[in-house]
Structures are given as C-alpha cells and as structure tokens.
C-alpha cells in the first residue's frame, strides 16, 4: 500500500506539473499578444514593435532596422485600402531587394493580405494625392524618430505614385548595405477592420534567411 501511495503521489505531481507548465505557456502567449510584439512564425526574425513615440513602431535585428508609422492608417479606417509609412535600413547585407511581394500584412486571424498593384489601387482608392500631401506636410514619419539615417544612402522607391502619370512606378527597390528606403505602402482593409487589432507586417526578400516581422496596432 505504501508503494502504491507513492506511485499515486508521483502521478499526481506529474499531472500538476504538466498543468502548471501549460498555464505558464498560455500566460506568456497572452502577454505577447497583448503587447503587440511577437512573431507570427517561428521562422521569422524578431521585430519587437518598440514605440519610440506617437504612432511610430520600430523593430531591429542584425540585418535590418524597420520603422513603421500608422498615423495615416488611423485616418483611413472606413476605406477599402489603408496606407502604412515605412522606412527600412539595411545594416549589413551586401544588398536587399524589395518588391511588391516582399510586404505581407497578417491580421489577427493569421490571414495574409498582399499589396495591390497600382492600377487596382488607383481605381478603388481616391486618396493617394491626399496621402502624399499629408506626408510632405508632417515630415515623413514625423520628427519623433530617434534613430538617424544621415549616413545611409537613400534608395529610390515608388510603389504607389500619387496619381496616374505622376512618376514612374518602381516595383523593385534595391537597398545597398548602409542604405535605406522609405515609401507609403498600401494593403486592402481586412474584413474585420484594423482598429485596435494586433497586426503584423512581414518583410521578406531573397537575401533574408528568414522574414522579418514587426507587430503593431492602429488605435
């Protein structure tokens, strides 16, 4: 009987420890989701979604610095598409090639959304010109960015010219080492909207071993 009691106690302890471990993992996942800094895939680099201030999110790994501004997105909650202001700096890769397919928006249901082509956006979205003016009036990404790109060379990028014929569409952006790009990129509005949701911008390129994810919310 004593041996049986010991075995039962051991089994109970194992069950309790297993339940405690599951509870610990659940609480950690819930915390990460609430904070908005997590990776959708295990095979992605860590872009923690830090908040330098205002509407800006910033993530960094050994290769890239990503700065995301969601202020314009807050003003387009009722539209079919919404913009994100983005800046990407290449710290150490020999080159970085970014195309329209390099950017993927992943919503809370883990549904991916892809950037439209320029004709689709111009046909279904009438605020390209206003978005461009807003950017130039406020200063791109605002004055709150704490990281300086003054010694980085700017790459030419223009995925979405503000009006038809107002500049050449650039579908491939080449960012040299110690170079950066900045642009307004657009995504279709998810079915459940974006306000208050934890969203992830995934950035992929042939030069990256794993995609870079940056989590953000639009409030």
Residue-level pLDDT at 100:
94
Helix (H, G, I), strand (E, B) or coil at 193: coil
Overall average pLDDT of the 56-77 stretch: 92
What is d(CA 185, CA 104) in angstroms, rounded to the nearest whole number? 10
- Mean residue pLDDT of the chain comes to 79
Residue-level pLDDT at 53:
61
Overall average pLDDT of the 13-28 stretch: 54
Give the residue among 156, 157, 213 at the shortest CA–CA distance from 184: 157
Q: Could you tell me the pLDDT band of residue 64, with boundaries at 50, 70 and 90?
A: very high
**Residue 36: is its pLDDT beyond 50?**
no
Query: What's the burial of 22, exposed, middle or buried (CB within 10 Å: 0-12/13-18/19+)?
Result: exposed
Contact 200, 215 (CB under 8 A): yes
Tens digit of pLDDT for each residue in 171-197? Answer: 999 999 999 999 999 999 999 999 999
What is d(CA 29, CA 38) in angstroms, rounded to the nearest whole number? 9
Question: What global pTM score does this model have?
Answer: 0.73
- Pick from 40-54, 145-159, 165-179, 180-194 the range whose average pLDDT is largest: 180-194
Overall average pLDDT of the 124-132 stretch: 91
Residue-level pLDDT at 9:
46
Pairing verdict, β 153-154 and 179-188? parallel
Q: Could you tell me the pLDDT band of residue 81, with boundaries at 50, 70 and 90?
A: very high
What is d(CA 180, CA 129) in angstroms, rounded to the nearest whole number? 24
Of 122 and 40, which is predicted with more confidence? Answer: 122
What is the share, in percent, of the chain residues with pLDDT greater than 90? Answer: 58
Q: Could you tell me the pLDDT band of residue 162, with boundaries at 50, 70 and 90?
A: confident
Tens digit of pLDDT for each residue in 86-105? Answer: 999 999 999 999 999 999 99
Residue-level pLDDT at 11:
60
Query: What's the burial of 51, exposed, middle or buried (CB within 10 Å: 0-12/13-18/19+)?
Result: middle
Overall average pLDDT of the 20-46 stretch: 44
What is d(CA 153, CA 180) in angstroms, rounded to the nearest whole number? 6
- Pick from 5-9, 26-30, 117-121 the range whose average pLDDT is largest: 117-121
Residue-level pLDDT at 191:
94
**Residue 134: is its pLDDT beyond 70?**
yes
């Amino acid at each position: 009987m004593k041996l049986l009691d010991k075995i039962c106690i051991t089994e109970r302890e194992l069950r309790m420890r297993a339940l405690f471990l599951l509870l610990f993992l659940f609480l950690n996942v819930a915390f990460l989701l609430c904070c908005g800094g997590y990776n959708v895939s295990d095979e992605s680099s860590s872009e923690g979604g830090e908040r330098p201030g205002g509407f800006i999110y910033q993530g960094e790994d050994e290769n890239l610095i990503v700065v995301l501004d969601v202020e314009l997105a807050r003003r387009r909650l009722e539209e079919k598409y919404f913009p994100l202001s983005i800046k990407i700096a290449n710290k150490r890769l020999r080159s970085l090639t970014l195309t329209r397919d390099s950017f993927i928006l992943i919503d809370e249901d883990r549904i991916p959304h892809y950037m439209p082509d320029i004709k689709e956006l111009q046909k279904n979205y009438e605020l390209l010109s206003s978005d461009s003016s807003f950017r130039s009036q406020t200063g791109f990404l605002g004055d709150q960015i704490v990281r300086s790109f003054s010694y980085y060379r700017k790459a030419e990028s223009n995925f979405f010219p503000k009006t038809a014929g107002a500049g050449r569409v650039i579908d491939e952006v080449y960012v040299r080492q110690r170079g950066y790009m900045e642009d307004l990129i657009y995504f279709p509005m998810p079915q459940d909207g974006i306000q208050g949701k934890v969203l992830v911008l995934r950035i992929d390129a042939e030069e990256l071993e794993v995609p870079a994810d940056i989590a953000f919310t639009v409030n």
